[in-house]
Amino acid sequence: MQRYKLLLVVILVLALTGIVRAQQITNVTSFMLDLRSDLENTANQALGDGKRPDSWTFDINNTASPTYAADLWYDNELLATAVFGDQRPDGWIGAPVTKDINLVARNIRHDLELTADKVFGPNNRPEGWKGNITLFKCDRTIMNTVLILQTTFNAKSATANDAVNYCQTVSSENQSLVLKQVLSAPEIDAGLPDLLLAARGDIERLADEELGLNTRPNGWVGNKDKTSPNLLSDNFLDLENLANEKLGVGQRPPGWLGTPPAVPIYGYQYLRFNLELLANTLGKTPRPRGWQGVNPVESCPTPLQNLVTLAQRAYGFSADSVPAGAFCQQLAVTVNNTIENPPPPDTTSAANDKFVFQGKYAFTYLDVKATQYMGIMPGGTKFKAWYRNFGDSTMMFVSGSDFALFVDRRWTDMPQDTYERLPSLEGVKPLTFCDAAWCNGPGPTPTPTGGGAIQALINQGTPPAPPDINQVQNQKTQVSWNNIRVTYLLDNAAARTAQVTLEICADTSQTDCEPVTRVYDNTTGTAKAVLSQQNNLNVYEFAYGYTSNLLIEGPTRFSPDVWISDPTIR
């Protein structure tokens, strides 16, 4: 699994210390070291002292590494697979999508706490456990509501870290703060009677569908007066009456909200949520003709509704593009991703574009020392430069929409005088990643004698020549993908990839086989990275399905293609 590809962080300028956020992380380096300690303790308890899954990184305290956070996430996922299997518990966050290293660390901590609940028992932790911020045990929506309230609306949580029923308490506090910051507006109060009357109409429509036209249970109020001060309470009484009639007295579907807050706007929120839940429970999909509840967000849990409201106010967030199927689950993912990775500010001004240039087949690296080679940036690829290296070095840190890497200025169109105006890397440790199609690494450190990036730099940027296919054909025997024996080591269902070892065989019986020594991708013009070795065989990562335009070589045979099965058909 390529941690650098799966860890979709776009962290452009971020030191590993010193950022104080609503999550109360005051020193992220110390926080991640504590996180690693608790991760290792949980692994010892779950697997046995010192036993770890294959591919465990053992990156214990090298916080200066550009992949330290990625390794934490990767090992946390390996442990989760060992504990839970291929499934994850409800509320699992998984791969980060955020620009903020504090949030990356926070989300890994949240997921580790779910694993620890399984291994040690809920709310039971061993002596020496270092995770002590209770907020990080709450679900992602609660955590991000606290975040946006503080960072955007300057409304700080006052719930004590040791409060009883902490997550429920802070969720109630969030509700109060959202009311104060966003929902206490004259236009909202003015529109409430129309919303309540529309809900009354839908209650009556649902009753007509279920009980018959104008047939109502005893005690039905039927208040349809928009100006009535009792319209909200009468709507609640009739909805409860209808639920008793159809589901049984006191029987309610999971998630049904009880007594509403005394605040009218939240009363409507509870009313509409229960009404939509009852309609779903009774199978009214699609809704009866004339149904006025047309905002699908109102059918989602109220904490999620409030987070959507904050995101709309802060970032102009819209739920219009969220797919209809499993809408609330999709909405939760989308709005939480938005909070953790907010839209960038307008960058159309000349001042913001002054360090935007293009690559000229530049070689890219995860580190400023150019030891972790990631591939060739295609000519014409736009990037923004952020930092230059010290002294006479020509290395600089750049980013694009799907990468953040180090390149040599000489293989870009940036002038030397512009390069010299960049801020230096002093005191900054930017996190690097690459999700671009042209990335295929990290690979072993290239050397002049072995070819690769350094040789190309010496040759003034000439890309390395691909293998001579004619020479390979003359010297080796071509076989098809049916002759390749694939040993599956690790699957990433989310990315639909697998880590595998390959052996290339004389025939389809796959008995007379030899190890694959090199895989060259003719589409990207790069050698496929060797992630590690297993039983003296190279470990590669491939997408599920059929991949062609390759050169897969063994000592005496080669193949142009390979088939990687997904777990359901092995």
| Higher pLDDT, residue 57 or 521 | 57
pLDDT score at 239: 98
Angle between helices 327-340 and 302-315 (to 10 degrees): 40
**CA torsion 164→165→166→172, rounded to 10°?**
-120
Q: Is the peptide bond before 286 cis (omega within 30 degrees of 0)?
A: yes
pLDDT tens digits, one per residue of 71-128: 999 999 999 999 999 999 999 999 888 878 999 999 999 999 999 999 999 989 999 9
pLDDT tens digits, one per residue of 275-314: 999 999 999 989 999 999 999 999 999 999 999 999 998 8
pLDDT score at 466: 59
Cα–Cα–Cα angle for 426, 431, 433, rounded to 5 degrees: 140
Q: Is residue 350 scored above 80 in pLDDT?
A: no
Give the pLDDT band (50/70/90) at residue 468.
low
Q: Is residue 411 scored above 80 in pLDDT?
A: yes
Q: Is residue 362 scored above 60 in pLDDT?
A: yes
Q: Give the rounded distance of the alpha carbon of 388 from its chain centre.
A: 29
pLDDT score at 465: 52
Give the pLDDT band (50/70/90) at residue 143.
very high
pLDDT score at 353: 64
pLDDT score at 19: 30
Q: Is residue 163 scored above 90 in pLDDT?
A: yes
pLDDT score at 11: 32
pLDDT score at 12: 31
| Higher pLDDT, residue 203 or 3 | 203
Report, as an integer, the average pLDDT of 445-458.
Answer: 40
3-state SS class at 83: helix
Euclidean distance between CA atoms 81 and 74, whole angstroms: 11
Q: Which residue has the tokens 């080679």?
A: 373
If you average pLDDT over each of 229-243, 491-505, 508-522, which comes out highest?
229-243
pLDDT score at 469: 62
Report, as an integer, the average pLDDT of 441-468.
Answer: 48
**CA torsion 115→117→120→123, rounded to 10°?**
150
Euclidean distance between CA atoms 321 and 43, whole angstroms: 40
3-state SS class at 251: coil
Tell me which residue of 46, 103, 106 sits closest to 78, measured CA to CA: 46
Euclidean distance between CA atoms 547 and 81, whole angstroms: 27
Give the pLDDT band (50/70/90) at residue 467.
low
pLDDT tens digits, one per residue of 193-217: 999 999 999 999 999 999 999 899 9
pLDDT score at 33: 96
pLDDT tens digits, one per residue of 307-348: 999 999 888 899 988 888 889 999 999 999 999 988 765 444
| Whole-number percent of the chain with pLDDT over 90 | 55
Q: Is residue 18 scored above 50 in pLDDT?
A: no
pTM of the model: 0.60
pLDDT score at 344: 67
Give the pLDDT band (50/70/90) at residue 531.
confident
pLDDT score at 151: 85
pLDDT tens digits, one per residue of 379-405: 889 999 998 887 778 899 999 988 999
Give the pLDDT band (50/70/90) at residue 14.
very low
Q: Is residue 17 scored above 90 in pLDDT?
A: no
Q: Is the peptide bond before 442 cis (omega within 30 degrees of 0)?
A: yes
Q: Is 479 in contact with 557 (CB distance < 8 Å)?
A: yes
21: left (phi over 0), alpha (psi -120 to 50) or beta: beta
Q: Which residue has the tokens 């992949």?
A: 67
Q: Which two tokens stand for residue 273?
A: 């949520």
pLDDT score at 460: 42
Q: Give every CB contact of residue 277 below 8 A, 6+ residues apart in sequence.
A: 253, 255, 256, 299
Asked which of 33-37, 174-178, 373-377 is least confident by mean pLDDT, the reply is: 373-377
pLDDT score at 444: 56
Which whole-number Å values give the CA distances from 19 to 14, 36, 440, 507, 557, in the listed order? Answer: 9, 20, 32, 59, 54
pLDDT score at 487: 92
**Single-letter amino acid code for the residue at 342:** P
pLDDT score at 49: 96
pLDDT tens digits, one per residue of 222-260: 999 999 999 999 999 999 999 999 999 999 999 999 988
Tell me which residue of 467, 542, 462, 528 sits closest to 500, measured CA to CA: 542
Q: Is 228 exposed, middle or buried (0-12, 13-18, 19+ CB in 10 A)?
A: middle
Asked which of 36-40, 91-95, 432-436 is least confident by mean pLDDT, the reply is: 432-436
| Higher pLDDT, residue 505 or 458 | 505
Q: For all residues of the chain together, what is the average pLDDT?
A: 86
Report, as an integer, the average pLDDT of 537-562.
Answer: 88
